[in-house]
Amino acid sequence: MELALSIARREASLDREEALDSGAEIEAFLREVEARAYRIALVHIRDRGEALDIVQDAMIRLVRRYADRPSAEWPPLFYRILQNRIRDVQRRRIVRSRVLSFFGGTASEEEHDPIAEAPAPIGENPLERAKAADAMQALEQALLELPARQREAFTLRNFEGLDVAQTAIAMSCTEGSVKTHYSRAIHRLREMLADYAEEQ
């Protein structure tokens, strides 16, 4: 009996090791965060293609560098990589915009708003879906008015649900800064969305 239990335990342990070795745990983590990470990237970048590229890049970098770290460390590390990639794209856009303006063009000539152009999502209750889409669109517009660091703090804390310590790691700043940025973001957003909130 003891031998059978010992064998069963050993087999369970081997199964666990095999699961870890095959990356099942990190796959589950990536599956859990990928859609939200994409939406967060889209809030900042407002381009579907670039948002997808950013998420893919963040996933590859996490796997390449941190797959062997404890899984509890993955969320802040992943969002730190994601935020860095978002900033890279934003910096590139600023440079491109300046170059274009220097040569007489304007960045807006080639930019578009994919969210505004996108068809409304189809659901079982189109009215509810439309309301939800409107709410998110209003929120995204308001978020674009915020300074970048406040927007980062808000998306990580509110959308992704990271705690203050995790957000501080993701944003490469102190916990105090996170609290300040988040608090300011909330108050500013409340002001901007006050009319919208009253209509609901």
The answer to whether 127 contacts other proteins (rule: CB under 8 A) is no
Interactions with other proteins, residue window 147-176 (CB under 8 A): 158-159, 161
Total H helices, total E strands in the chain? 10, 0
> Contact 133/121 with Cβ under 8 angstroms?
yes
Contact 193, 138 (CB under 8 A): yes
Q: Decide whether 59 or 171 has the Cβ nearer to other proteins.
A: 59
Query: Is residue 130 a contact residue for other proteins (CB under 8 A)?
Result: no
Q: Give the dihedral of Cα atoms 118, 119, 121, 123; nearest 10 deg.
A: -170
What distance in Å separates the CA atoms of residue 116 and residue 69, rounded to the nearest whole number?
40
Question: What would the two tokens of residue 179 be?
Answer: 């609290």
Q: Tokens at residue 113, please? A: 């708003």
39 touches other proteins by CB under 8 A: yes
Measured from the CB atom, the residue of 5 and 127 that comes closer to other proteins is: 127
CB of 90 to other proteins, least distance (A): 20
Count other Cβ atoms within 10 Å, centred on residue 155: 26
Report the residue from 12, 95, 165, 197 that binds other proteins according to the rule CB under 8 A: 197
- Please tell me whether residue 27 binds other proteins under the rule CB under 8 A: yes
Residues that bind other proteins (CB under 8 A): 21, 23, 26-27, 30-31, 34-36, 38-39, 48, 52, 55-56, 59-60, 62-64, 67, 121, 123, 129, 132-133, 135-136, 139, 158-159, 161, 186-187, 189-190, 193, 197
